[in-house]
Structure 1
Amino acid sequence: MRQYLMTIALLALFISTGSCRKDFEYAPSYGNLEFSKDTVFLDTIFSNIGSSTYSLKVYNRSKDDISIPFIGLKQGETSSYRLNVDGVAGKTFSDIPLMAQDSLYIFIETTVTLQNTNQFLYTDILQFDQGNNSQQIPLVTLVQDAIFLYPNRNSKGEKEMVVIDVDADGNNISAPGFELKNDQLHFTNEKPYVIYGFAVVPSEQQLILDPGARVFFHQNSGMAVRPKASLKVNGALSSDQELLENEVIFEGDRLEPEYGNVAGQWQGIRLEEGSSSNTINYLTLKNATVGIFAQGESSLSSPTLTIENSQIYNSSKINLWGKTAYIEAKNLVVGSAGNSSLYCNLGGSYSFTQTTIANYWTESFRPNAALTINNFEPDGQNNSYGADLIKADFKNCIIDGNGDFEISHGSNGSNAYNFLFSSCLITVNENNIPSKSGELYQFEDDITYKNSLINGLTEFEDTQKNNFRLTSTSEALNIGDKIDALAIPLDILGTERTESPDLGAYEFFELD
């Protein structure tokens, strides 16, 4: 027992002696730090918009505990970069300890303001120690100037609000936004446009976009086109399919690569009831919530939207939604989305020729088919109201996806329901046809499903990148109707298709 007590006492003495040490002994750094990067590139940002946070890891490979005498930005407090070292924010730091065989994270952000320039390379130096022992890591950011459009604020600091929708009870739904002024109704390709809130095209006005125009939308932002107003997107065919130099592009305002394929970054485009003669040519629209929502008026006397040579993809809900709308589309790609790629809702009149409708969404459960068509809508009180589906014509189209059934019909049995699929490839599970409306899925009927191929192999190039070009093994090759193809002799890339037309927006050709 005495020996046991003596052992406990010695152990306690050893612990108390060690705990009395007030500090570790650190050797100064002698310029022998190692780093996870030799340069920190902060991806392209817009002037006045903060970057994402980037990291640099600093290693002490030695067997000694060291102290880094100085960590800081060469431009000091005037630098537009911001640092966080070991959980502390600042621009300069002194005597930072780093244990032997240990590492340290430094987090870096920036916000840069530019004037009178289109693009600018903003740089600074992250310094470790000074004098002969100095080590340096360059910081590099490409800053792009832009035209910023945003809501005004009143005397109380409150943002200007605009009506963007109406709820089920008829109450207005408002959001921060502003009406575009007369001198803001022509978007050129000289500088990109960055929109905060909802940009509204006023009644009796039209917004014109030149070839090569770029429009970036901040989070929860979008565009609304009022009744008797219109949107004119005048893009053109590009020679470089990576740069898309002549195409008009709508997307979110985060330029970092990790945001390149993130759905739901902005709200989308709303063509309000009474807005007509909207025309879109060579537009790429991506990463919205609802890409384009087009609400037609009941008379359907003129097209709500004419869209050609365009692609809409990676919307968190729906890429193209027509509600009692009159839509004409040619050479259109509506790719993956969190719900339907294309939604023809509450009747209307629709004509889609040489269109690729393909939904290979993998980010979450997708509740609906790539193509959804109906002529009625619930009113939220266990009732529904309907409108005539004057026509829903699909010619030389592809309706495909990674789901079991990529076409969905919904007829109330009272309003007109007219549709045609002519020379289309349609992906369905014929063993799972809905019994309630099975008459709408009679794929052997050569009147409503004329010359259509059911469950053919599409064989796209890369569905996860929304690249829906056809490959040489696709069963969609050479089976298009020639008369319908003659009306659109060139595909979305300008390739001639009149001899043996393929289905969809792309005509297959062998790459060099």
Structure 2
Amino acid sequence: MKYLYNIITIFVLIGFVSCRKDFDFETSSGTDLRFSRDTVYLDTIFTNIGSSTYTLKVYNSTNKDIKIPTLKLAKGENSNFRLMVDGVAGKVFNNVELLAKDSMFIFVETTVDIHSLSNQKEYLYTDQIQFTSGTNSQKVELVTLVKDAIFLYPQKFADGTKETLPLDGEEIEGFFLDENDPVNENELIWTDDKPYVIYGYAAVPPNKTLEIEAGAQIHFHDNSGLLVANNGNINAVGTIQNPIIFQGDRLEPSFENTPGQWGAIWLTVGSSGNFENAIIKNATIGLLINKNQGTVNLHNLQVYNASDFGILGRVGKIRGTNVVTNNCGQAGLGCTFGGNYHFIQSTFANYWNKPNQTSVVIDNYDGTPEFAIEQALFQNCIIYGSSSESLIMNKQGSNNNFNIKFDNSLIKFTDYSNQVFGNFPYDFNNSTYFSNCLIARTPQQYRPYFKNTNKNEMMITDKAVDIIGIGNLIFAQQVPFDLLGNSRLSSPDLGAYQNIPESQ
């Protein structure tokens, strides 16, 4: 009997619960809902490229369980936005239930073909999420900016494979730029008319020159980059007002300073190049120069947020003026496997937030003449960062294969234990190698007081009283204007910038 009584009790309870009114959903009145935002701004996207996913949180602010008769995009099935509501994808939803004092997430994405909407280079695409109940309605606005672009990518073949390029004995996904392309016409001239979005590695063919004009915006997808073949050339010349910018293709603000989003600009063996008034950011290696032909000239070049090296020379020949680096996983500048390097009025900083990084690395590989440092000359430069030693030099073999000279430059090198201080190539008191240099042996000594290292604003401020105005005028005359166009002929500072008031 006791067993039978328990069964009857359970059924009575089930019947009671099934009759409870708090499991009945009332129709939303049109004022019951609150939203985490009244407008969802999806960040800028390129035409036909999907956005990231954005979140809207919807709250039932009442003490009753409600049912939303219709939740939809105002443009319905024709909308270029997409929704995910309670795990279901769609654009129109009926009878969406929401418990009292509960909330739900709506996920929003979009892909827009700008050519179906406008002949403009940019188009502000909008819609609404509408929550309707009879004559009552609540809404959340949706907004995204769509940019037109020129897309460059390897050809895809019938068997599903893609076009490749030979590189160092391997094949990488890529293609040669074509001056008679049937779609893009001359791909060896890049202008500021539209942004360029590159998939795979775009390559400058042998004996051809890629001309990049002022204001051009180049965006690289993941595992993409730019190659210059043997006897090929790149000539990227911007202006101070309209620099050329190389960066990743993620346009969300959260990716603004994210390192390692794309591969590298790679000048392969026998190539040549010129970069002036350009910014390279968020790469794995910003600029890789490998046994180039002639000298690669860098002027007013900024390289930031490289997950490996900002500028990496391998048996390179580089002359740089007003060059700035910061926030690089290994080093801002690598002069490796020997080569010939000359930098004037440049700032090699590194405030990467992890250890085992530095600002400048110099090495001659195994010390043989093939890999000799023919010259590593730094004049009126700043070599500084968050690590203890901002200059790392690995010398092998004879000193004759390691020709270094630092003139009127600031170098941070603490070496608290004096393990290498005073020994070649770190004999900082030897004027043959270090002439009129400031060696910061503590974090407080000769601080440059950069404006904002987190934002890559590497101007020295007026707090840097120990280093203001101590640049050598003879070196400064070779680079009479700083990276911002300010004259340095009257009282030159070290580095790529003349100092600025701290308040600016």
Q: Same fold (TM over 0.5)?
A: yes
2:221–2:249: 8 Å Cα contact kept in structure 1? Answer: yes
- What residue number does 2:474 align with? 483
Shift in CA distance, 375/130, structure 1 to aligned 2, threshold 3 Å: same
Which amino acid is the alignment partner of residue 247 of structure 1?
P
- What TM-score results when the alignment is normalised by the length of structure 2? 0.92
Note if contact 1:396-1:504 (Cα within 8 Å) is conserved in structure 2: yes
Q: Report the Cα offset of residue 257 of structure 1.
A: 0.6
Q: For the Cα contact (< 8 Å) 1:281–1:310, is it kept in 2? A: yes
Q: Which residue of 2 aligns with 1:292?
A: 287
The 10-residue stretch of structure 1 (332-341 or 385-394) with the greater mean CA deviation from structure 2: 385-394
- Deviation at residue 423 of structure 1 after TM alignment: 0.7
Q: Secondary structure at the match of 2:479?
A: coil
For the aligned residues, what is the CA RMSD?
A: 2.2
Which one-letter code corresponds to 1:269 in the other structure? I
Whole-angstrom distance in 2 between the partners of 1:371 and 1:97: 61
Q: CA deviation at 1:312?
A: 0.3
CA distance in 2, matches of 1:19, 1:152: 64
Judged with a 3 Å threshold, the aligned counterparts in structure 2 of structure 1 residues 389 and 41 are, in CA distance, closer, same or farther, namely same
Residue 144 of structure 1 aligns with which residue? Answer: 147
Query: Residue by residue, what CA displacement relative to the aligned partner does 1:130-150 show, whole Å, maximum 9, x if unpaired?
Result: 541111111111000011111
Change (3 A) 1:124 1:294: same
Of 444-453 and 194-203, deviating more is: 444-453
| Residue-by-residue CA offset, 1:125-171 (whole Å, 9 max, x unaligned) | 1111154111111111100001111111111121111123x2xxxxx
User: Which residue is 1:158 aligned to?
Assistant: 161
AA matched with 1:285: I
1:371 matched to 2:360? The reply is yes
Structure 1 match to 2:498: 507
Unaligned runs of 5+ in 1: 167-171, 239-245, 379-383
Secondary structure at the residue paired with 1:419?
Answer: strand
Larger CA deviation: 444-453 vs 208-217: 444-453
Instruction: Find the counterpart in structure 1 of residue 182 from structure 2.
Output: none
| Pairwise CA distance, 1:20 | 5.2
What is the alpha-carbon distance in structure 2 between the residues aligned to residue 431 and residue 441 of structure 1?
14
Structure 1 counterpart of 2:126: 123
AA in 1 matched with 2:457: N
Q: Deviations over 1:410-431 (max 9, x none)?
A: 1112461000111111111132
Contact 2:30–2:133 (CA under 8 A) maintained in structure 1? no
Contact 1:386–1:412 (8 Å) recurs in 2: no
**Corresponding residue for residue 39 of structure 2:** 39
Any gaps of 5 or more consecutive residues in structure 2? 180-185, 441-445
Q: Give the Cα–Cα distance (whole angstroms) in 1 for the partners of residues 269 and 121 of structure 2.
A: 38
2-structure distance, mates of 1:57, 1:139: 14
Secondary structure at the residue paired with 1:439? coil
Contact 2:303 2:325 in 1 (8 A): yes
Residue of structure 2 in register with 1:387 after alignment: 371
- Give CA deviations for 1:343-375 in whole Å, capped at 9, x if unaligned: 00011000010000000011xx34232110000
Match for residue 442 of structure 1? Answer: 427
Per-residue CA deviation, residues 15-61 of structure 1 (Å, 9 max, x unaligned), is 54456569921001011111111111111110011111111111111
Are 1:338 and 2:329 matched, yes or no? yes
Match of 2:254 among 252, 258, 263: 258
Q: Work out whether residues 226 and 271 of structure 1, in 8 Å CA contact, stay in contact via their aligned partners in 2.
A: yes
1:43-442 correspondence runs (5 A): 43-115=43-115, 116-164=119-167, 166=168, 172-182=169-179, 183-238=186-241, 246-276=242-272, 278-297=273-292, 302-303=294-295, 305-362=296-353, 365-376=354-365, 387-414=371-398, 416-435=401-420, 438-442=423-427
User: How many residues get paired?
Assistant: 484
Q: Report the Cα offset of residue 12 of structure 1.
A: 4.4
CA contact (8 A) 2:309 2:329 kept: yes
- SS state at 1:431 partner: coil
Could you tell me how far 1:437 is from its partner in structure 2?
Answer: 9.2
Q: Answer whether contact 2:415 2:421 (CA < 8 A) is retained.
A: no
**1:443: Cα distance to partner?**
1.2
1:472 matched to which residue of 2?
462
CA distance in 2, matches of 1:232, 1:377: 33
- 1:25 equivalenced with 2:24 (yes/no): yes
How far is the alpha carbon of 1:336 from its aligned partner?
Answer: 1.3
Q: Percent identity?
A: 40
Higher alpha-carbon deviation: 429-438 or 194-203: 429-438
Whether contact under 8 Å (1:376, 1:386) holds in the other structure is no
Question: How far, CA to CA, are the matches of 1:261 and 1:14 in structure 2?
Answer: 63
For the Cα contact (< 8 Å) 2:52–2:109, is it kept in 1? Answer: yes
Shift of 1:81: 0.5
SS in 2 for 1:77: helix
Q: Which amino acid aligns with 1:446?
A: S
Match of 1:454 in 2: 439
Give the equivalent residue in structure 2 for 1:381: none
